[in-house]
């Protein structure tokens, strides 16, 4: 009887997301909805998030088509601050380009550029306090650069050389910098989210004033750690900012596989009852303003905020990736939100605080700075030219006090090295 009753129903089917453009396709982003700059309202930082849920579906934008800062989210930064921000963004791009070439030259095994995403991390470093704790993913090198981390130290880590403070125990670009409030990067996706919430809860428990901020890509929102972190943050109103960098691609999987076809990533905030913002991720002023707003909210015990940065990954996922195999070559140049560095440059020119000549000179200056840092770092060695750390340090940093079984293994390793007659810790 049941089979007969269902005879008129169509068979069940699954929807498999498919990107709109594949290699060889002509790109047309006309269906990407881009609201006018200045059109999103700016609620008070103490407002109940149920009162501004529309902000997860629109986009906070400050820079308009005439390169002017407009609307209630304009942070009204001084020209000097904007110029410093622009320089740090240009420095990130120059650093990325030189380290990318270093990988192609065999000087390191791996690198990840943030081309097209420089307006995410750098303005956020400016909006946060210097002692706020950052729990990044692997494309937020701009945080370190904007906070003043020496480029040589970053390069030493990439090369895993004698100057590497992590003793070669982390993959290249997985920095750890306590001096600059930069938590250790993990290759395991989104583990930093619950860590950030735990740190923020500890800060609140101690009556501190420091907050936490964490980042992940849009694909990582499908990980369980993402949802566990938001649950804890919701329940305890942890002083934390969740950043979802929606750059449209998680390696070769487009954002639809993480749910982008159904709703925005900022909309995940609604289900958890926390504040949510969707921001033009290529607008440095909008990113700064949203982060400043979320930081004030966290610091005044109004709860966490989830910010979706709508941007585009202009190059491959990493040096191990070839984006021409899965997406149209025309996508990066057709992206309707433009280039973040050019947009900030054009804004400064529009307000008569910059010009093309000074910008070209700045580009040369940062390129020379990166080149000089690379020469200094390579004095400590490069990856692939033998071990740069004493072999017996292999077991260091795992436990506060090395347990007996690791001491035995360390002794056995060193004995085998001595018997071989070939020192493994060659410099």
**Domain chopping of the chain, boundaries:** 49-378, 391-420
Beta bridge partners of residue 133, listed in sequence order: 212
Percent of the chain with pLDDT over 70: 97
Rounded to whole angstroms, the maximal C-alpha distance in the chain is 82
What is the structure's pLDDT at 418? 86
Question: How far apart (Å, rounded) are the C-alpha atoms in residues 127 and 395?
Answer: 39
Angle, helix 118-127 to helix 284-299, in steps of 10 degrees: 40
Give the pLDDT of the chain (427 residues) as one tens digit per residue: 567 677 788 999 999 999 999 999 999 999 999 999 999 999 999 999 999 999 999 999 999 999 999 999 999 999 999 999 999 999 999 999 999 999 999 999 999 999 999 999 999 999 999 999 999 999 999 999 999 999 999 999 999 999 999 999 899 999 999 999 999 999 899 999 999 999 999 999 999 999 999 999 999 999 999 999 999 999 999 999 999 999 999 999 999 999 999 999 999 999 999 999 999 999 999 999 999 999 999 999 999 999 999 999 999 999 999 999 999 999 999 999 999 999 999 999 999 999 999 999 999 999 999 999 999 999 999 988 877 888 878 888 888 999 999 999 999 998 988 888 766 554 4
- What tens digit of pLDDT does each residue of 332-390 get? 999 999 999 999 999 999 999 999 999 999 999 999 999 999 999 999 999 888 778 88
Residues 6 or more apart whose Cβ sits within 8 Å of residue 177: 144, 149, 153
The candidate with the shortest Cα–Cα distance to 244, out of 272, 208, 217, is 217
Residues 188, 190, 193, CA angle at the centre, nearest 5°? 135
- What tens digit of pLDDT does each residue of 251-285 get? 999 999 999 999 999 999 999 999 999 999 999 99
The HSE-up count of residue 213 (CA atoms within 13 Å, CB side) is 29
CATH class of 49-378: alpha beta
Beta bridge partners of residue 279, listed in sequence order: 60, 309
Q: Tokens in use for 125?
A: 């470093």
Beta bridge partners of residue 135, listed in sequence order: 214
- What tens digit of pLDDT does each residue of 414-423 get? 898 888 876 6
Question: How far apart (Å, rounded) are the C-alpha atoms in residues 290 and 267?
Answer: 16
DSSP H or E stretch at residue 231: helix 224-236
What is the structure's pLDDT at 419? 86
Question: How far apart (Å, rounded) are the C-alpha atoms in residues 125 and 376?
Answer: 26
| pTM score, whole prediction | 0.95
């Amino acid at each position: 009887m049941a089979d007969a009753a269902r005879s008129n129903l169509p068979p069940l089917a699954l929807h498999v997301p498919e990107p709109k453009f594949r290699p060889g396709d002509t790109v047309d982003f006309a269906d990407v909805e881009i609201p006018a700059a200045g059109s999103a309202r700016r609620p008070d930082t103490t407002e109940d998030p149920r009162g501004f849920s529309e902000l997860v579906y629109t986009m906070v934008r400050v820079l308009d088509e005439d390169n002017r800062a407009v609307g209630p989210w304009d942070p009204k930064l001084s020209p000097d601050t904007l110029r410093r921000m622009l320089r740090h963004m240009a420095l990130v791009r120059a650093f990325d380009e030189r380290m990318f070439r270093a990988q192609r030259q065999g000087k390191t095994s791996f690198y990840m550029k943030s081309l097209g995403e420089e307006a995410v991390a750098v303005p956020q470093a400016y909006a946060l306090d210097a002692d706020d704790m950052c729990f990044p993913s692997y494309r937020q090198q701009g945080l370190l650069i904007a906070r003043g981390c020496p480029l040589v130290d970053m390069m030493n880590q990439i090369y895993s050389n004698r100057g590497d403070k992590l003793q070669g125990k982390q993959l290249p670009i997985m920095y750890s910098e306590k001096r600059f409030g930069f938590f250790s990067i993990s290759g395991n996706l989104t583990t930093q989210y619950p860590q950030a919430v735990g740190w923020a809860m500890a800060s609140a428990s101690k009556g501190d004033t420091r907050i936490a901020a964490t980042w992940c890509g849009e694909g990582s929102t499908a990980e369980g750690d993402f949802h566990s972190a938001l649950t804890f943050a919701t329940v305890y109103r942890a002083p934390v900012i969740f950043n979802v960098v929606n750059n449209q691609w998680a390696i070769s999987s487009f954002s639809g596989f993480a749910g982008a076809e159904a709703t925005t990533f900022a909309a995940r905030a609604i289900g958890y009852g926390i504040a949510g913002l969707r921001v033009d991720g290529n607008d440095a002023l909008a990113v700064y303003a949203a982060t400043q707003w979320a930081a004030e909210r966290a610091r005044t015990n109004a709860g966490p905020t989830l910010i979706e940065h709508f941007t585009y990954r202009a190059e491959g996922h990493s040096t191990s990736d070839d984006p021409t195999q899965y997406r149209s070559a025309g996508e990066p140049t057709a992206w309707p939100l433009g280039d973040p560095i050019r947009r900030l440059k054009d804004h400064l020119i529009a307000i008569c605080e910059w010009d093309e000549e000074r910008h070209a000179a700045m580009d040369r200056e940062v390129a020379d700075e990166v080149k000089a840092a690379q020469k200094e770092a390579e004095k400590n060695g490069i990856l692939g030219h033998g071990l740069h750390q004493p072999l017996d340090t292999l077991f260091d940093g795992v436990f506060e006090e090395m347990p007996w079984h690791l001491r035995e293994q360390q002794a056995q390793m060193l004995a085998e090295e001595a018997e071989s007659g070939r020192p493994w810790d060659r410099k």
